[in-house]
Amino acid sequence: MPTGAGKSVCFQVPALMAEGITLVISPLISLMKDQVSALNQAGIHAAYLNSSLSMGQYVKALQLAKAGRYKIIYVAPERLVTDGFLDFALNSGIKISMVAVDEAHCVSQWGQDFRPGYLKIAEFIRKLAHRPIVSAYTATATEDVRGDIIELLELREPAVTVTGFDRDNLYFAVKKPVDKYKELVTYLRKKEQELSGCSGIVYCLTRKSVEDISYRLRQDGFSVTRYHAGLSDEERRENQDDFIYDRRHVMVATNAFGMGIDKSDVRFVVHYNMPKNMESYYQEAGRAGRDGAPAECILYYEPSDVRMNQMFIGNNENNEMLDAAAKALIEERDRRRLKQMTFYCFTSECLRHYILKYFGEETSGYCGNCLNCLTQFEEVDITREVSAILKCIRENWTAYGITTIIDILRGAKSQRILSKNLDRNSQYGLLSGQSVTRLRQIIQEMMYRGYLELSGEAYPVLRLAEGAEGTRRLPAEGERQTSPGAGEETAPIVLKLPKEQERKTGGSGGEAGSAGGRKRKKAGAAAALREKDIELFEELRALRREIAAEEKVPPYIIFSDKTLVLMCLARPGDSAALLGISGIGEYKVKKYGERFLEVLGVQ
């Protein structure tokens, strides 16, 4: 199931109905803490056992567990086979009716977050006197990972369910701004205007860029915090809490941030750099809009991101424990995935369609809620450009990277070009009128269609794809000519590109649809509200913040943004009417109903 689709409900509800205890195996302390406080908030007794507890707290929690105080216990995988926990599981007379393995892809080395501790789960279950129901959940179950989950967790004839991966409240866009930082600032200001104080995440590829971007944003007056593996445990915890409790609105982070973060009201996720594969992208982007209200997922593409990722693939430390053959296999797989990710940044198809297709799901090809669906494209004949690019590459004695090829075609007079005599290439300067962005787009398209390929690791170079079917269909020697006999013209090569007129508004060279120019739906949960409802919405949020502070829980755990919006629209006048609103149960009516009704009544 995709991130945000409600995996935890799948084991929490059965846990309540079964007799005995459900153990939930979870990889992250933050995840446990958050889910346990949400459960307790809903009136369900739950606890977690992990390294964040002191010895005293741990012993106490185990005692309460033995006494049958908890219905659901979250536990770290490494803890399962420790003496203390085994004693509890085997000798205390309690019944473990279900073991639910969350983030189950951690058991697989094919996944991206391999955790050796997950390999202990099967061992633990084997030790139990009665085999409980074993269930496993993940948002990233490609074929390989699914196989590993079944095998390594020793599932017995499991019922396998794969739900749809679509999250239709998410808007997707890829941009290629000339000045990424400026674009980000403009975007954040716009978000701030639409819904002040709304939360968002900005993902960067490296710790250094997290430091840099978070510092600059702070200087520019934004409410920002940061997160990466180089910070102390304490600072990470603090910053994460600042974000979750709405004390800071923008989290700038590496991919170390987010797994298990249950914050449901994240209204946007901006990728300041392109991640290494679609799995990571969809998982990270999927942290937006978990409450089901509209949210935005924007990716800023820059060519250097590809190189950076390529470098990471070459230096993957996780691969050190593998033998040479397995290592080569995984590197090859990672490069293939990186290529798919790069194609995402250049496709003119519906972005949602591209993502879902990647995960093996078919769609109509038009979603109406991504930048590509909302951009007017025109079909452009690129035969001349394609033939110039092919000729240029064929003529060179050595293979060069994309940047150099583009420099030759645009007639650059740089030292690099001149010193290598590349200005003598017959195609030198032939496409001087074309922008770098457009030529890049065309080269990416040629790779996508199999005419060209990138090879080499540290410095990838462009080559003609060997035996690629496409090459033969291209005009011979790149000339588009009338064949003498038939009088028939070779079919032109056509590319869908954003319409020229829109290029002027964007200021980002070719990337159409600066969101300001288009009357897009107002982002955020408040989208459905009329002007006068907004005021009420803000008051409800203020009350929610107040209660959250009193109870020391994140605001979205009290009520989601979406629930507040529904309150504004329905204007319930009593407890019964409150109960009719999605996201409000009896327990919460009892606990908060009066205070919310008071605010609703004032209006």
Note the residues at the interface with Zn ion (CB under 5 A).
350, 352, 367, 370, 373
| 169 contacts 360 by C-beta, under 8 angstroms | no
Rank residues 249 and 352 by Cβ distance to Zn ion and give the closer one: 352
Which whole-number Å values give the CA distances from 317 to 48, 52, 107, 127, in the listed order? 31, 27, 17, 33
Q: In the bound complex, what is the minimum distance in angstroms from residue 496's beta carbon to Zn ion?
A: 13
Rank residues 367 and 446 by Cβ distance to Zn ion and give the closer one: 367
Using alpha carbons, select from 601, 561, 526, 494 the residue that is nearest to residue 193: 526
| 178 contacts 507 by C-beta, under 8 angstroms | yes
**C-alpha torsion angle, residues 592, 593, 595, 600 (rounded to 10):** 140
| 542 contacts 534 by C-beta, under 8 angstroms | no
**Strand ranges in 446-524 using DSSP code E only, listed in sequence order:** 452-455, 461-464, 494-498
Q: In the bound complex, what is the minimum distance in angstroms from residue 295's beta carbon to Zn ion?
A: 15
Q: In the bound complex, what is the minimum distance in angstroms from residue 374's beta carbon to Zn ion?
A: 8
Rank residues 172 and 596 by Cβ distance to Zn ion and give the closer one: 172
Rank residues 256 and 373 by Cβ distance to Zn ion and give the closer one: 373
Rank residues 298 and 543 by Cβ distance to Zn ion and give the closer one: 298
Tell me the residue type at 549: A
Q: In the bound complex, what is the minimum distance in angstroms from residue 34's beta carbon to Zn ion?
A: 32
Q: In the bound complex, what is the minimum distance in angstroms from residue 366's beta carbon to Zn ion?
A: 6
Rank residues 27 and 498 by Cβ distance to Zn ion and give the closer one: 498
Contacts for 520 with CB less than 8 Å, ≥ 6 apart: 171, 374
Phi, psi of 175 (to 5 degrees): -130, 155
| 27 contacts 53 by C-beta, under 8 angstroms | no
Burial class (CB in 10 A: 0-12, 13-18, 19+), 552: exposed
Using alpha carbons, select from 524, 520, 557 the residue that is nearest to residue 267: 524
Using alpha carbons, select from 534, 532, 586 the residue that is nearest to residue 561: 534
Q: In the bound complex, what is the minimum distance in angstroms from residue 2's beta carbon to Zn ion?
A: 16
Cα 515 to its chain centre, rounded Å, is: 21
Q: In the bound complex, what is the minimum distance in angstroms from residue 320's beta carbon to Zn ion?
A: 40
Rank residues 356 and 589 by Cβ distance to Zn ion and give the closer one: 356
Q: In the bound complex, what is the minimum distance in angstroms from residue 372's beta carbon to Zn ion?
A: 6
Per DSSP, 116 falls in state: G
Rank residues 185 and 373 by Cβ distance to Zn ion and give the closer one: 373
How many angstroms separate the first and last alpha carbons of the chain? 40
